[in-house]
Chains A and B, each alone.
Chain A
Amino acid sequence: MGRFFAVVLTVITLVSASFFVLHTWWMPVDISVHGPALDKQFGETLFGTGIGFIVAQLSLAFFVWQSSGRNQSRKTRQFPGGARIMVTTAVILVGFEILALSFVGQKAWAAVNLDPAPPNAMRVDVQAEQFAFYFRYPGPDGQFGGVHPDKISEADGNYFGLDPASDVAARDDIVVGSLTIPVNQPVLLTMHSKDVGHSFYVRELRIQQDFVPGLMIPVHFTATQTGKFEIVCTQLCGLGHYNMKAYLNVVTQEEYDQWLKSQIGQ
């Protein structure tokens, strides 16, 4: 029975680990400036925990193999070094891993969340609602109009609650259902929610941030490759949660200028 357990556990361990090693299922290619640091951190964590996983499971399997075959009349034996060696191993190895990961990880986290957006960042206002994202560009005046929740109306297409009648800045605001940005251009999103909690997740950008009703949350990033990517909601927001998505279009500067011109013309 013990030997069978050892064999089964060894097979489970090796098969489980192999899919990680072979990258059978893996993160999509990163398209952000901050992403490589996160991916590197992921790789280091996977290496450390992977070794821990294999060593722990295989030692368990080996010891079970060894101990279950023992003659029941023989005396039990203590692990050489006893608990002291275990405590020391855990404190040193895990402690070292924690120090290394915290130190490196702190920098990666800071690049996304603590460092301010570059001064030349392009601002886009993002609103999440059940079950769509809307993106607002300031228009030629570079100014966003004020938001008035009482003026929000799905029927009139006034998703943000703008008041163009008395608010000059609001008149040229561009409101669209997908996010178009130029490549290699820092972007600063100001995120807010109309109704309940939502989240903004772009796998390739290595960005995930909740929309919190009542809060305005800044997020900044720079995309390094052109293409079309999914923006999905990751915070349970109601019955249509599974279908709440938009697209991120990363285009060249020329394409962006052209797109912007066509939007202003409308």
Chain B
Amino acid sequence: MHDSSKPTTEHHHSPPQGFLWTHVFSLDHKVIGKQYYFLSLAAVLIGMVLSWLVRFHLAWASAAIPGLQYLSKVGAPGGIITPEYYLSLLTLHGTLMVFFVLTTAPQAGFGNYFLPIQIGAEDMAFPRLNMLSFWVTFVGFVVLISTLFVSDGPPISGWTAYAPLSAIGTDAGPGLGTGQVLWVISIGFFCIGSLLGALNFIATTLDLRAKGMTLARMPYTTWAWFITAVLALLAFAVLLPACVLLALDHLGGTSFFIPGGLVVSDKLQPHSGGSTLLWQHMFWFFGHPEVYIAIIPGLGITSHILTATARKDILGGTRVLVGCMVSIAFLSFMVWGHHMFISGMNPFSSLVFSVPTLIITIPASIVTLNWIGTVFGARLRLHTPGLFAIGFISVFVTGGLSGFFLAQPSLDIYLHATYFVVGHFHMVMGVAAIFGMFAGTYFWFPKMFGRMMSETLGKIHFWVTFIGVYCIFMPMHYLGLAGNVRRYSAFVDDYLAPLIPVHKFITIAAFVTGAAQLLFLFNLFWSMYRGKKAEENPWQATTLEWTVPSPPPFDNFGGRHPVVYRGPYEFAVEETKDDFVMQDSPQQPARS
């Protein structure tokens, strides 16, 4: 823990000089946090446009999208998406969203900016490593986007890149040569960035806490970022070697994931001895914790914002909430096989993987019930961040409950690879995590940019998004129930044709909901320059980030060493004229 009794006059790195060192290669965690945030924003915009293309094609497969031929003459001749280009766009959508949005903004973006401030530190433990993690991630992003411009486009193997489709090369289809190799390199870079970031988060949380900032006094967000960092350290450490092995199968003539005797495009492949299930095991050993890497920061952000919205601490407090998050994180490493129930692995193991998958719903249910219980008897201040936090609870419940079906191997037989799965994971990991990001953005924007976002635009954004996501993702559950298979570029068979009107409804809902995101974007940039000046603590919240100016100075606390006297969420304290007490307020707490 940082010893504040010793006066330290110097910040552990000096303020930067010049534009390049201030805004580009900055060592300041706040600048790096914003860089991550804007990288995610770019990725989510591209990802959303890709989803529009994909959705448009599903509803009107033979209609042209004017101008798309300029992006890819081969993939969209005359603006009509070919089946293989559909899969390319789908792969890019999934990869961008999972890695560069869901893993980046909530953890690396907000975490970088606010974790040091919330624990009373001047910066992250390793500022240079921090800068390196961002730039490595940025290179990964550029490499991924470059696949759009190679001759046969991005890979068509989906974000899960199942071998041997992803390992054989162009014999298996377009995009599986150069595009797939670039994909592997991109994800490899992303893994390195995430591993470095995770180390930094863990070291910072454990070593740089201010005096009085005991573990029990850490805000929920800090806990969530810390737990997520531990998950990321273990999960990306497995995905990175998996990517190296896949790259070697392409470039080094190895056969880690390719068994012998495969005949692709009428050619007997020069490989033998590999295992395709090995890729699935390595991928999902990362892939399931990844779901929680995406959502645990959201649990933290929602809990953090809900306290200021409800004017009371979360029911159960740190002990229950953190206990649940730790249990979820721990169990998340024992459930990866539930993605592989019908993969041909030993069917006994499906039963073994099913049990912890179902058990994980217990801590998740406790968290949810405690949130709902927190809203009871609250004095709700329903500003935009609060609305998104409460919206998060609703979508998390919806997305979580459909997991009950998929956790059971016997039900997965029918539902696996249908739109039921698509609806489930978009709701619980996509929409819920994005609601966390929106809540975080509206909540912390005043601190980050020194101005308030427009409440009116924010509320319109919330209502269209909240109703919109239900219109998009709820019908996907019905489609899955009717047996609509996923990853099909068109529904040519008699069985699926009657479901096309549902797809049209979803597509229209996706466009309307997407349009509301443009409103958000406008609000974000307009408010950055024209928004009302923000005060130090606009939401009357209690944690340390609200004790510093908006935006905070270079060393966060202006040379001051904060000392923490209280728990993170002391609301409704009778001794004060307000209904809250700051964490660094030295007066004696009214309740012990």
Contact (Cβ within 8 A) B376 A87 = no
A57, A87, A194, A237: the one contacting B397 at CB < 8 Å is: A57
Q: Which B residues lie within 8 Å of A53 (CB)?
A: 397-398, 401
Cα A41 to Cα B405 in complex, Å, equals: 9
CB proximity of A199 to chain B, nearest CB, Å? 7
Cα A170 to Cα B263 in complex, Å, equals: 20
- A57-B397, A86-B373 known; A106-B351 Cβ under 8 A: yes
A37, A63, A102, A199: the one contacting B355 at CB < 8 Å is: A102
CB proximity of A129 to chain B, nearest CB, Å? 8
Q: Which B residues lie within 8 Å of A16 (CB)?
A: 398, 470, 474
Cα A247 to Cα B393 in complex, Å, equals: 44
B361 contacts chain A at the CB level, 8 A cutoff: yes
Contact (Cβ within 8 A) B414 A195 = no
Q: Which A residues lie within 8 Å of B315 (CB)?
A: 78-79, 82-83, 86
Which residue of the partner chain B has the closest CB to A64?
B375
Contact (Cβ within 8 A) B478 A199 = no
A76, A230, A238: the one contacting B165 at CB < 8 Å is: A238
B64 contacts chain A at the CB level, 8 A cutoff: no
B150 contacts chain A at the CB level, 8 A cutoff: no
Contact (Cβ within 8 A) B372 A59 = yes
Cα A49 to Cα B387 in complex, Å, equals: 25
- A94-B361, A194-B262 known; A78-B342 Cβ under 8 A: no
Contact (Cβ within 8 A) A82 B316 = yes
Cα A75 to Cα B351 in complex, Å, equals: 49
Q: Which B residues lie within 8 Å of A212 (CB)?
A: 276-277, 343-344
Cα A38 to Cα B410 in complex, Å, equals: 6
- A76-B572, A149-B268 known; A113-B347 Cβ under 8 A: yes
Contact (Cβ within 8 A) A60 B375 = yes
B344, B376, B405, B410: the one contacting A209 at CB < 8 Å is: B344
Cα A94 to Cα B397 in complex, Å, equals: 14
A5 contacts chain B at the CB level, 8 A cutoff: yes
Q: Which of B87, B418, B481 has the most CB of A within 10 A?
A: B481
A48, A98, A112: the one contacting B413 at CB < 8 Å is: A112
Contact (Cβ within 8 A) B165 A25 = no
Binds A, one of B37-45, B221-229, B378-386, B545-553: B378-386
B492 contacts chain A at the CB level, 8 A cutoff: yes
B176-200 CB mask vs A (1 if < 8 Å, else 0) is 0000000000000000000000000
Cα A89 to Cα B366 in complex, Å, equals: 8
Contact (Cβ within 8 A) A89 B369 = yes
Cα A86 to Cα B20 in complex, Å, equals: 52
B312-332 CB mask vs A (1 if < 8 Å, else 0) is 100111001000000000000
Contact (Cβ within 8 A) A42 B370 = no
Binds A, one of B7-15, B107-115, B482-490: B482-490
B276, B417, B479: the one contacting A214 at CB < 8 Å is: B276
- Give A55-88 interface residues, CB cut-off 8 Å to B: 56-57, 59-60, 63-64, 66-68, 70, 72, 74-79, 82-83, 86-87
Top 9 closest A-B pairs, CB basis?
A214-B259, A77-B377, A83-B316, A113-B347, A239-B84, A242-B488, A234-B417, A79-B373, A25-B478
Can you identify 17 A-B contacts, CB atoms within 8 angstroms?
A16-B474, A26-B481, A46-B405, A56-B369, A57-B394, A72-B379, A76-B312, A76-B379, A94-B362, A194-B263, A195-B262, A213-B258, A214-B261, A234-B418, A236-B165, A239-B84, A242-B83
Known: A8-B463, A76-B312, A236-B156. 12 other contacts (CB 8 A): A5-B390, A42-B411, A57-B398, A63-B372, A64-B380, A68-B382, A90-B369, A149-B262, A197-B165, A208-B417, A209-B342, A214-B259
Chain B residues within 8 Å of A, Cβ to Cβ: 82-84, 87, 156-158, 162-165, 168, 172-174, 258-266, 268, 274-277, 310-312, 315-317, 320, 342-344, 347-348, 350-351, 354-355, 358-359, 361-362, 365-366, 368-370, 372-382, 387, 390, 393-394, 397-398, 401-402, 404-405, 408-411, 413-414, 416-418, 459, 463, 466-467, 470, 474, 478-479, 481-483, 485-495, 499, 502, 571-572
Chain A residues within 8 Å of B, Cβ to Cβ: 1-2, 5, 8-9, 12, 16, 19-20, 24-28, 37-38, 41-42, 45-46, 48-49, 52-53, 56-57, 59-60, 63-64, 66-68, 70, 72, 74-79, 82-83, 86-87, 89-91, 93-95, 97-98, 101-102, 105-106, 108-109, 112-114, 129-130, 149-150, 152-155, 161, 193-197, 199, 201, 203, 206-215, 217, 230, 232, 234-243, 245
